[in-house]
Amino acid sequence: MFEEHGDWLGEKWIMAQTLDTGAAAKAHPAAARRWLVAGVLLFVVIAGFFDRISIAVLFTNKDFNDAVGTAFNPPMLGLLMTSFLFAYGVSGVLLSFVGDIYGPRRSLAIGAGLWGIFMTLIGSTSSYALMIFYRVLLGLAEGPQFALVNKVVKRWFPKNEQGRANSVWMVGSPLGSAIGFPLTIALIAAFGWRASFYALAALNIVIIVPLVLMFVRDWPPHREQEARAAETSTTDMKGNIGLFLSDWRFWMILIFNSACLLYLWGLNAWLPTYLQTVRHFDLKSLGFFASLPFILMFFGELLGGYISDRLDRRALVCFIGLFFAGALIYVVSLVSNPYLAAVIMALSAGFWGSALPPLFAMAAQIIPPSVTASGVGVYNGVGNLIGACSPLLMGWIIGTSHNFDAGLMVLVAAGVVGSCAMLPLIRRY
């Protein structure tokens, strides 16, 4: 019964959105602003990723380790990333509804302000326990981010542009890492580890909050009447949440996304340390080779969004991307040349990037429009709860086996096994 109702609901809305929104986008001059909005969302995501990955650069920093009392203890260092990600996942599940109730614009602006406050507190502490506590608060504040930006895209873009529109803000993830790693390294070298947190805090408060308030709106101008008609009661929202939770297709994208995030957070947490301690790159080379995977991830996301829109085969693009991401990490473990290993790791990240835009585009088709933020929040939040295990699990494996390649097998398993969740969807999407 759900299958019939869910498909009818999705198809009716998608047809209406594609025709009405697409026609309105051409007819209404202000609708061209949608790509500017997507650009602002890109900056929001980049700033968020600066905050998330900055701690990983400090794993081998003596001043930081002495200040917070971690020495070089892989499980303790991994917990700094895992604590954030666990809170991020919980928040994604429990708090993403704020975008459906209060609107994504207001929620994004308040969230970015909180990111700045918590980054300042992280930079000011010398206690490991307080560092964990502030990382948890930062995770709670950042958790709804992807759900909020995805809701903006769904309202501003017709279906045939959503893959490309999602790829615009999603490249903020690799760009945040590609720029964030060398930027943080440079800030630490010039001003110390505390100043790096203060600089990123100022970015959120001084730049990101005003950008959101100036350029992002909950609805495009040509859909204001539809916006009023789309307001749903709490009862309607609960019913629609029940619809996607009972849909097996939703659980396939949740499993796939969880595998993607196991890969992503393991790579973000341990890449700089791996390149420095195992492949013996000096500090000058480290910045470039730590950024290279995320540069290729950037191009992979652009290409994945374009190909999935052109071919309308989103599940197939997702499967290929994540499968080869995992398989190539296994190849890295077999290669002795450090430069070749770094390049293959970068190619792996490029394949991973190609899987994300079509995944979010599929979610927009499967989740009812009135609860987009809630639906994306659930599958992204649960995915981050599972992905949060990756830095700590890899740290434990590395610490107990004294073998970094053994830790990399977490990424291999995530890619190869997780990609299989797309197989039941390939014929339909």
Is 226 inside a domain boundary?
Answer: no
pLDDT, residue 6, reads: 40
Q: What is the pLDDT of residues 175-220, one digit of tens each?
A: 888 888 888 888 998 899 999 999 999 999 999 999 999 998 888 8
- Which range of residues forms the domain containing residue 357? 29-221+234-424
Q: What is the 3-state secondary structure (H, E, C) of 343-365?
A: HHHHHHHHHHHHHHHHHHHHHHH
Which has more pLDDT, 129 or 311?
129
Please, what's the b/e burial string for 176-210 (b: 16 or more CB within 10 A of its CB; e: otherwise)? bbbbbbbbbbebbeeebbbebbbbbbebbbeebbe
- On the question of pLDDT at 328 being above 70, the answer is yes
User: Backbone dihedral region of 158: left (phi > 0), alpha (psi from -120 to 50 degrees) or beta?
Assistant: beta
Is 92 inside a domain boundary?
Answer: yes
Integer angstrom CA distances of residue 425 from 89, 248, 316: 25, 10, 8
Is 2 inside a domain boundary?
Answer: no
- Going by C-alpha positions, the residue among 209, 322, 208, 186 that lies closest to residue 263 is 322
Is 335 inside a domain boundary?
Answer: yes
Q: Measured between alpha carbons, how far apart are the two ends of the chain, in Å? A: 21
pLDDT, residue 145, reads: 87
pLDDT, residue 7, reads: 41
CATH number at residue 133: 1.20.1250.20
Is 204 inside a domain boundary?
Answer: yes
Is 244 inside a domain boundary?
Answer: yes
- On the question of pLDDT at 280 being above 50, the answer is yes
**Under a CB-based contact definition with an 8 Å cutoff, are residues 208 and 43 in contact?**
yes
Distance CA 130, CA 128 (A): 6
User: Backbone dihedral region of 310: left (phi > 0), alpha (psi from -120 to 50 degrees) or beta?
Assistant: alpha
Half-sphere exposure of 136 (CA within 13 A, CB side): 9
pLDDT, residue 44, reads: 93
pLDDT, residue 31, reads: 58
Confidence band for 373, pLDDT divided at 50, 70 and 90: low
Q: What is the pLDDT of residues 127-185, one digit of tens each?
A: 999 999 999 999 999 988 888 888 888 788 887 777 778 778 877 877 888 888 888 88
Per-residue pLDDT, averaged over 385-412, amounts to 89
Average pLDDT in the chain = 82
**Under a CB-based contact definition with an 8 Å cutoff, are residues 44 and 145 in contact?**
yes
- On the question of pLDDT at 235 being above 60, the answer is no
- On the question of pLDDT at 16 being above 80, the answer is no
- On the question of pLDDT at 234 being above 60, the answer is no
Confidence band for 11, pLDDT divided at 50, 70 and 90: very low
Confidence band for 346, pLDDT divided at 50, 70 and 90: very high
Confidence band for 21, pLDDT divided at 50, 70 and 90: very low
Distance CA 161, CA 181 (A): 31
Q: Determine the angle formed by the axes of helices 145-156 and 372-387, rounding to 10 degrees.
A: 150
Is 88 inside a domain boundary?
Answer: yes
Distance CA 18, CA 12 (A): 10
Count of the separate structural domains present in the chain: 1
Report the predicted TM-score, pTM, of the whole model to 2 decimal places: 0.70
Is 391 inside a domain boundary?
Answer: yes
Taking residue 405's Cβ as centre, other Cβ atoms within 10 Å add up to: 17
